[in-house]
Amino acid sequence: MTERLYYTDSYQTEFDATVRELTLRDGRPAVALDRSAFYPTSGGQPNDLGTLDFGAAGIYAVIDVVAGDGAVYHLLDAPSELPLELQAGSRVQGVIDWLRRYDHMQQHSGQHLLSQLFARRFEFETVSVHFGAEESTLDLDAATVDAAQLEEAEAAANDLVYAALPITAYVVDERDLARVPLRRPPAVSGQIRIVEIAGFDYSACGGTHVHTSAEIGPVKLIRQERRRGQTRVTFLCGRRALADYSRKHRLLIQTAALYSTDVSQVPDLVERSLEQVKELQHRVDELTTRRLAYTAQELLAAAQPIGEDRVVTALVALPVDAVKTLANLLQAEPHTIALLGSAAGGKATAVFARSADAAPHMGNLLRAALGALGGGGGGRPEFAQGGGVPVERLDELLQIALRQLRAAS
- In angstroms, what is the minimal distance from the CB of 20 to Zn ion? 27
What is d(CA 226, CA 24) in angstroms, rounded to the nearest whole number? 42
What is d(CA 200, CA 31) in angstroms, rounded to the nearest whole number? 39
**220 forms bridges with which residues in the sheet?**
236
Q: If binding is defined by CB under 5 A, does position 207 make contact with Zn ion?
A: yes
- In angstroms, what is the minimal distance from the CB of 242 to Zn ion? 22
What is d(CA 35, CA 74) in angstroms, rounded to the nearest whole number? 11
Q: Which is nearer to Zn ion, 195 or 316 (CB)?
A: 195
- In angstroms, what is the minimal distance from the CB of 117 to Zn ion? 15
- In angstroms, what is the minimal distance from the CB of 203 to Zn ion? 5
Q: Which is nearer to Zn ion, 207 or 217 (CB)?
A: 207
Grouping H, G, I as helix, E, B as strand and the rest as coil, residue 215 is helix
In this chain, which stretch among 116-124, 156-164, 202-210, 346-354 interacts with Zn ion, using CB under 5 A?
202-210
CB 232 within 8 A of CB 137: yes
In this chain, which stretch among 99-107, 203-211, 317-325, 342-350 interacts with Zn ion, using CB under 5 A?
203-211
H helix or E strand, kind and range, residue 338: strand 336-342
Instruction: Compute how many residues bind Zn ion; rule: CB under 5 A.
Output: 2
Positions of E strands within 5-119: 14-25, 28-33, 35-36, 50-53, 59-68, 71-76, 91-96
- In angstroms, what is the minimal distance from the CB of 44 to Zn ion? 7
Q: Which is nearer to Zn ion, 29 or 207 (CB)?
A: 207
Q: If binding is defined by CB under 5 A, does position 205 make contact with Zn ion?
A: yes
Q: If binding is defined by CB under 5 A, does position 46 make contact with Zn ion?
A: no
DSSP 178-213: GGS--SS--SS-SEEEEEEETTTEEEE--S---SBG
Other Cβ atoms closer than 10 A to 148: 8
Q: Which is nearer to Zn ion, 207 or 387 (CB)?
A: 207
- In angstroms, what is the minimal distance from the CB of 178 to Zn ion? 21
Q: If binding is defined by CB under 5 A, does position 113 make contact with Zn ion?
A: no
Q: Which residues bind Zn ion (CB under 5 A)?
A: 205, 207
